[in-house]
Chains A and B, each alone.
Chain A
Amino acid sequence: MTINLPDDKTVNLNKVYDAVVIGSGAAGGMAAHVLTSHGMKVLLLEAGRKVNTTEELKSTEWPYEHPRRGDMPPGNHALSLNEYTIRQPPYAAGIKANHVYSYVQGWGGSDYSKNLVVDEKDHPYTGTNYAWVRSRVLGGKTNIWGRLALRLSDYDFKAASRDGYGVDWPIEYKDIAPYYDKVDLLLGISGVKENLPYLPDSIFQRPTRLNEAEVHLRGSLAKMGRTLTPYRAGVTTEGVKNKYRMRCFGRGACARRAGGCDIHAVFDSPTGLIFPAFDTGNLTIRTNATVSEILVDTNTGKARGVAFVDTATGKSYEAKAKVVVLAASTLESARLMLLSKSRIHPAGMGNSSGQVGHNFCEHVMGPSVLGIYKNKIGAKRTLDDGRPGGFYVPRFRNLSEKHPKFIRAYGFEGGSGTTMFPGDAIGQPGFGASYKKRVRDYAGAFVSMGAFGEVLSRYENYVEIDPEMKDRWGIPVLRFNYKFGDNEKRMCEDMAEMAQEMFEAAGIEIVSVSKQMLTEGWSIHELGTARMGNDKKTSVVNQFQQSHDVKNLFVVDGSSHVSAACQNPTWTIMALAWRSCDYLADEFKKGNL
C-alpha cells in the first residue's frame, strides 16, 4: 500500500510547530513517530527527495530482465577501494563521469539504488580518507541498510568501568531495555534466543534458518564456547500491524543488491515510522529541504527554528518551532551544530564543551575468511539465499579474560551456500568444460565471514567545518581528521587469526584469509561527535539526548553514542530516540522546554 504525501509547496512555514525534526532516517523517523503519537505538531524536514521504493527497487527482477543486468547506465561511476586509498577527498574532483557515487554503488544491482544515495559531486568533503556513504531521500540509509539488528548490553554501556578506557554511558541496559522491546514489537525482528549476557535477546519473530554448512560451523564453534546464531534481522517475518508493510517471503533480493525491499518486510523509516505518523494528522513533511543552520533566539539563547535551502529551487526559507530535534546522521548533525554559530553560541550551538565533532567512532572491518565446505561440492542445488541474512558470530573477546593486545571486541557476519551469481566464477582458474563444471560444483560450497570491530572513541578523531569548500547549495562542508589507531590494528590482526582458526577447527577448507583493513568509514556505522554524558564539560547531550546548553535542542541520532561497541547501531539508535522523545514530549507538556 502506498501513500500520497502532499507537495512541498503546501507546507505552512508561517506556523510555529511544536517540534521540527531534521532528517528522516532511523532517528528522525522515530522522533516523528513518537512525538506525533504524543499529540505534538511536528514538521519533518528531509534534505532529499521522496523516492517510491515500492516501485524503484524491483526486488525480484532477474538480471537478464534489465538492459545492463542491474548495473547503472554509462556516465555513473562508483568509487573503488583503490580510489579511496590512493586519492584524497573530495573524491569526485576530476572524475569525468556525470555522477559519482560511494563504493556501495559498485555492488551488483546498483541501478536500483542509484536514486537513493548522494552524488559525491554535489556533496564533497575534505581531509583524511573516509568512505562516507550518504543517502539523502525520505528514509535515508534505512532504505538500503544491512538489516542486522542487535542490542547493546552493560558490557558496552559500562565498558569504561570494565577496562578503564574512555567514559561510561550515562545509561544502563535496564534504562534502554523497555525501549528495545518497543522497537522489536513495533517494527518486527527475526532471530533466535541465545541467552548471552553480552548480546541480549530481542522479542523475536520467526527466525531464518541455517543451511548445512552453517549448522556444522555452529556446532564446531559451540565446542569452543562461541556462538553462531541466525542473522538477527530487522525484518518482520510474521507481520506487524502496519498497512504499508508485508512480512518477509524469503525472496532473498536483500542479499544481492545494495539493499532495500519493495514489500517493506525489512524496516525502513518511511513505511515503518513516517507514513503511520503522517496518518495521525500531526505530521507535516517537507522534502528537498536542506537545513543550513539552527536559528537562535537571541533573547533566550534557545533554538527558535531552522534555516533551510529548497534544493529544487535554490531558495532559502525558515521554519519555526518550539523544539529542534537533530536527526540528520552522526556527521551531518555535528556539521549543523558547528555551522550554527552566534554571539551566544560562538563555537556552534550546543558546543560550549568544545566536544561537538570529537570522539568520532565507528566499526572497523575488512578481515575476513573464505572457505569451502566439502560436503557441498557437487551436491544437488539447494536454496540458500532466500532470507535477509546468513549468520552472526557475537563477540568472544574481553568478556571474562583480558586480551593482551587490545581492548573491546568484534563480531562476525557471514553466510554460505548458493547465491544467484556464483561469486567464484571470476576467480576460478582456467576455461572450458572443466572450468564450467568446477564453477557449478563449487557454487553451493562456499562459506565466508567478515568481522566488525569497535573503533575506540578518541577526542583526536574529529570532524570540523572546512574553512573554504562548500557543497552545491553553498553550505560549508566537513573536513575529516580521522584515523584508525593501534588498538584497531591489533584487533584486526586477531580477527583474521580467529577467522582462520574457527574455519580450521570446523574442517572448512580455507580458500583465502584477508587481513586488510578497509578504508575508514567502510562500515557505514559512524557514531559519536555529540556524545551523551552527565558532565557538561565532556559531553554534548544528557542521557535524554538533550543539549546541555540549549534545553530545547535534542540530538537523537548516532552522534550521541558514547562508544561504538561492536554491534550494528540501528536498533540502538531507534530505542534511544524513542526514550528521549518520550522524555521530550513529557517536558514539553510540562512547559519545561
Chain B
Amino acid sequence: MRIADCGLRIEEDEEADSQISNPASQIADETGVTRREIIKLTAGAMIVPALPQAKSRRSAKTQSRRPRFFTPAEIALVDELSELIIPADDHSPGARAAKAAEYIDQRLAESPEEEPKRQWREGLKLVDQISNEMSGRSFMQASPEQRVALLERIAQNETNPQKPEEKFFVELKSRVAHAYYTSKIGIHNELEYKGNTYLREFAGEDVSRK
C-alpha cells in the first residue's frame, strides 16, 4: 500500500517545508509505531476533498436541493442577500458558491425552536417591504444599487440593533458568516487556512534556543 492510497494530505505549499511530505513513514520513524498502525489511525480522518475551482459561480437556480424551511422565493432571496454580504471577488468565490443559503435552510428546518424561524420569515418579509418603500420594487426586482442601499440601511446599527430589520441583519450576517467560513471555499480558498495537518516540527520560532 502506498502513502497516496490512504488519502494522507500532501502539503504542496513551498513555504511549508517544515511540514511532512511523507507523513506516514515520518511518523513511523519518529515514534517507533508501525506504519500499518498509522495508516489505520489516520486513514479516513485525513482525506481532504479536492478544492473547489476558484472561479466557479453558482446561481440560485442551481441550488442542488429543494429548500426544507424556506419557500423557493425565500431561499432565492437569502441566497442573494448572502452573496451581497460575502460576495465573490478576485480572491475567492462568495457565499453563493459556498451554498450558505442551503446550509442555513437545513439548520432552520431541523431546529425545534420557533423563535429563529419566526425571525427569518418576518425578516425576509421586512426586506421586501422596505425595498418597496425605498424603490417601489421587491428586493429581487430592485437594481443592484437599490439592494445595496437597503442593506446599508438595515446594517447601520449593527453594534446596537433596535428595529426588527436591524436585528434581522445581525442574525442574517452571523449565519452567513458562520456558513461561509466553515465551508470548503471559506476555509481553503478564501482564508487559505494552513492548519489541520500533520507537522514534522511546530511552526514559528523556538524561543528555547535563544
Binding site for B on A (CB under 8 A): 1, 54, 58-64, 67-70, 73-75, 96-97, 192-193, 206-212, 214-215, 218, 229-230, 237, 239, 246-247, 249-253, 262-263, 380-387, 418-422, 425-426, 429-433, 435-437, 439-440, 443
Q: Is the CB of B87 within 8 A of A211?
A: no
Q: Is the CB of B203 within 8 A of A418?
A: no
CA distance A440 to B87 in the complex (A): 13
Q: Is the CB of B196 within 8 A of A210?
A: no
CA distance A384 to B103 in the complex (A): 28
Question: What per-residue 1/0 map shows which CB atoms of B150-165 lie under 8 Å from chain A?
Answer: 0100010011000000
Q: List 17 A-B contacts (CB under 8 A).
A: A62-B48, A96-B112, A207-B206, A207-B207, A208-B202, A208-B204, A210-B205, A214-B204, A215-B204, A247-B31, A382-B194, A382-B203, A419-B195, A420-B195, A426-B174, A436-B86, A436-B87
Give the contacting residue for B191; candidates A97, A230, A440; CB below 8 A.
Answer: A440
Q: Is the CB of B45 within 8 A of A59?
A: yes
Residues of A within 8 A of B197 (CB): 251, 383, 386
> Counting chain A CB atoms within 10 Å of each CB, which of B27, B45, B85 scores highest?
B45
Question: Is B111 an interface residue when CB atoms closer than 8 A count as contact?
Answer: yes
Given the interface contacts A59-B45, A69-B178, does A420 sit within 8 Å of B196 by beta carbon? Answer: yes
Question: Is B126 an interface residue when CB atoms closer than 8 A count as contact?
Answer: no
CA distance A237 to B33 in the complex (A): 14
Q: Is the CB of B31 within 8 A of A250?
A: no
Question: Is B89 an interface residue when CB atoms closer than 8 A count as contact?
Answer: yes
Q: Is the CB of A381 within 8 A of B112?
A: no
Give the contacting residue for A436; candidates B20, B46, B94; CB below 8 A.
Answer: B94
Q: Is the CB of A209 within 8 A of B204?
A: yes
Q: Is the CB of B187 within 8 A of A420?
A: yes
Give the contacting residue for B207; candidates A215, A237, A239, A250; CB below 8 A.
Answer: A215
Give the contacting residue for A207; candidates B173, B184, B190, B208; CB below 8 A.
Answer: B208
Residues of A within 8 A of B110 (CB): 73-74
Question: Is B199 an interface residue when CB atoms closer than 8 A count as contact?
Answer: yes
Give the contacting residue for A422; candidates B111, B181, B184, B199; CB below 8 A.
Answer: B181
CA distance A418 to B112 in the complex (A): 34
CA distance A218 to B192 in the complex (A): 27
Question: Is B177 an interface residue when CB atoms closer than 8 A count as contact?
Answer: yes
Given the interface contacts A246-B33, A383-B16, A432-B84, does A211 sit within 8 Å of B205 by beta carbon? Answer: yes
Q: Is the CB of B84 within 8 A of A253?
A: no
Q: Is the CB of B45 within 8 A of A432?
A: no
CA distance A70 to B181 in the complex (A): 13
CA distance A341 to B130 in the complex (A): 69
Question: Is B182 an interface residue when CB atoms closer than 8 A count as contact?
Answer: yes
CA distance A431 to B149 in the complex (A): 12
Residues of A within 8 A of B151 (CB): 431-432
Question: What per-residue 1/0 map shows which CB atoms of B85-113 lie under 8 Å from chain A?
Answer: 11101010010000000010011001110
Other than A59-B45, A193-B208, give 11 A-B pairs with Cβ distance below 8 A: A54-B41, A60-B42, A68-B107, A208-B202, A211-B205, A246-B41, A250-B203, A382-B194, A383-B199, A431-B84, A437-B89
Give the contacting residue for A247; candidates B15, B30, B183; CB below 8 A.
Answer: B30
Residues of B within 8 A of A211 (CB): 203-205
Closest A-chain residue to B47, C-beta based? A65
CA distance A255 to B192 in the complex (A): 18
Closest A-chain residue to B111, C-beta based? A74
Q: Is the CB of B205 within 8 A of A63?
A: no
Residues of A within 8 A of B174 (CB): 426
CB distance from A501 to the nearest CB of B (A): 22
Q: Is the CB of B208 within 8 A of A386?
A: no
Residues of B within 8 A of A60 (CB): 42, 45-46, 196
CB distance from B29 to the nearest CB of A (A): 11
Q: Is the CB of A64 within 8 A of B203?
A: no
Residues of B within 8 A of A443 (CB): 191
Closest B-chain residue to A430, C-beta based? B155
CB distance from A176 to the nearest CB of B (A): 25
CA distance A381 to B207 in the complex (A): 21
> Counting chain A CB atoms within 10 Å of each CB, which of B103, B148, B194, B207 scores highest?
B207
Residues of A within 8 A of B120 (CB): none
CA distance A249 to B199 in the complex (A): 5
Task: State which residues 1-42 of B face A: CB under 8 Å.
Answer: 15-16, 19-20, 27, 30-33, 37, 41-42
CA distance A385 to B208 in the complex (A): 19
CA distance A209 to B107 in the complex (A): 38
Closest B-chain residue to A68, C-beta based? B107
Given the interface contacts A247-B30, A383-B195, A436-B94, does A209 sit within 8 Å of B205 by beta carbon? Answer: yes
CA distance A433 to B205 in the complex (A): 34
Residues of B within 8 A of A439 (CB): 177, 181
Given the interface contacts A420-B187, A426-B174, does A384 sit within 8 Å of B85 by beta carbon? Answer: no
Q: Is the CB of A381 within 8 A of B191?
A: yes
CA distance A188 to B177 in the complex (A): 39
Given the interface contacts A75-B112, A239-B32, A386-B202, does A252 sit within 8 Å of B192 by beta carbon? Answer: no
> Counting chain A CB atoms within 10 Å of each CB, which of B32, B106, B205 scores highest?
B205
Q: Is the CB of B195 within 8 A of A252?
A: yes
> Counting chain B CB atoms within 10 Å of each CB, which of A239, A383, A386, A430 scores highest?
A383
Closest B-chain residue to A67, C-beta based? B106
CB distance from A410 to the nearest CB of B (A): 22
Residues of B within 8 A of A420 (CB): 187, 193, 195-196
CB distance from B186 to the nearest CB of A (A): 9
